[in-house]
Amino acid sequence: YRIIPRAILFIRTGRRIPLHGGGASVRSFIHIRDVADGTWRVAQAGKPGEVYHLSTGRLISIRELVERICSRLGVAFDECVDIVGERLGKDAAYILDSTKARESLGWQDHVELDAGLDETIAWVDRNLDELRQQPMNYIHQK
């Protein structure tokens, strides 16, 4: 139910995407393969008790991200997005410094955002029939 697969799924199923606070918050999106590689490197060569952040150096607002997804799917942003109020407690930015992981573990991110978006679009398209059977709204489990 994260923003990238959710935006793609909503567009593919004709639902409008609620964009909290206009999508002003900023994030650094990282591909799971880069996270897995970093986690493996920490497990293999990290020092016990140390903290290693894994992050790209690319920041993008949620709005810009959704605009990019819309463009890749050939739909107009205004036709599939509703600007809604900000969620309570939502962070304005998530920014991590991955210098330590890069320098001490030789880690680096490899998957560019657009390539990751294309992979996720292809995955949603391959699995769209199954995804249509799943709940579209997040249900918090305790």
Q: What is the pLDDT of residue 32?
A: 95
Q: What is the pLDDT of residue 92?
A: 76
Q: What is the pLDDT of residue 105?
A: 98
Q: What is the pLDDT of residue 94?
A: 81
73-99 pLDDT per residue, tens: 999 999 999 998 877 767 777 889 999
pLDDT along the chain (142 residues), means of 10: 90 93 91 97 97 95 96 96 81 87 97 97 94 75 66
Q: Check: CB of residue 41 under 8 Å from CB of residue 106.
A: yes
Q: How far apart are CA 110 and CA 54, in angstroms?
A: 12
Nearest 5°: the CA angle 46, 50, 53 is 85
Handedness of CA 40, 92, 4, 13 (dihedral sign): positive
Q: How far apart are CA 33 and CA 39, in angstroms?
A: 10
Q: What is the pLDDT of residue 75?
A: 97
Q: What is the pLDDT of residue 132?
A: 87
| Cβ neighbours of 82 (radius 10 Å) | 10
